[in-house]
Amino acid sequence: MPGLKKSKPTVLVGMSGGVDSSVSAALLQRRGFNVVGGFIKNWSDSKDVWTGECNWSGERRDALRVAAKLGIPLLTFDFEKEYRALVMKDFFRTYKKGETPNPDILCNQYIKFGLFFKMAKRLKMDYIATGHYARVRWDSNGTAHLLRGADTDKDQSYFLCRISQEALNRTFFPIGNLKKTAVRKLAKQFALPVADKPDSQGICFVGKLDLKDFLRTKIKSKPGEIVDPKGRIIGRHDGLDRYTIGQRHGFAASGGTSAWYVARKDLRKNCLIVVPGARHPWLYSDSAVVRDVHWLGVRPPAFPIKVQVQIRYRQKPVSAIVASDKYKNRVKLKFTEPVKAAAAGQSAVFYKGQECLGGGFLC
């Protein structure tokens, strides 16, 4: 990493109370860095019965136990107000529009590599670090490049596609070159009190609740008609926000034997359009438009450019040509093979080999 000549730089490590971030802190300490832990409080909602499933105080307690074991301080940052405004507001807004948002990407952009990074600078910290499965490479010009994590099953570069070059340039991903099994072994070697803690699953503010159940508490849905490709009414839906493009619909039309899948949403008519069979052509797209594109490099690439695109986490990348669009921060995608279930609001993330170039949102 360019630019620093301190003998013992200080790193603010985002510590969630989980295994990955705890091992990250321990590894940096072993490498000789001055390590300070930082716990981020994003979300609590005492009015909701599901609060106990997203127990931030319990996670903070675990982070404190790890910090005590390592002999490092732990700072707590309350970003709940900002999280609601910058992440949750967009999450609810896009779901109300019938789109499919990914709040983790916005959380990384605005909170972990936004506010948390700014706080590190304000506190005169030299770097930040997180427990993401990703890697950073610096070129001879000092530009930071985001690479996939070595563990292909755990790679989280998809969620980091919108962070700033400034933040990326001052970030360590200590476990990015490791497999998850190796991280677990290290947790035991370091005798960390969370060594046997299960991995967190799903979206934090939902906890163990089904996402649909959570959304029912936050969004007033408007029921409407379900129609087939010919426009015939074949049922009723509970609200367009309850369904995802490509999702198998849980009903059977009279006299039919095929399963039905969500193909489109007509917001103007409040209609859900379903098609018979998982391979119906309406479920596939050979092109797309991506809005609010963010490039991780110092400047955007020259168009057209051939990339690999992921529109879902852990999806197999698909080759595509990215071309400029007449609107600012928008690009056109032409897939080399049809892509299934490309839904508005999903994040389209661009790769060149192992490098993540950036990403945007499907229109």
Residues with active-site annotation: 107, 204
Give the other-Cβ count within 10 Å of 186's Cβ: 21
CB 114 within 8 A of CB 78: no
**Greatest CA span in the chain, whole angstroms?**
75
Residue 207 three-state SS: coil
Beta bridge partners of 248: 261
155 Ramachandran zone, left/alpha/beta (phi>0; psi -120 to 50)? beta
CA distances from 302 to 260, 308, 331 (A): 42, 16, 12
Separation of alpha carbons 14 and 31, rounded Å:
17
Gyration radius (Cα) of the chain, Å: 22
- Which residues are CB-neighbours of 156 under 8 A, at least 6 positions away? 132, 133, 134, 149
Question: What are the helix (H) ranges across 270-324?
Answer: none
Crossing angle of the two packed helices 180-189 and 19-30, in degrees rounded to 10? 60
Please write down the long-range contacts of 248-254, taking CB distance under 8 Å and 24 or more positions apart.
248/278, 249/274, 251/226, 253/228
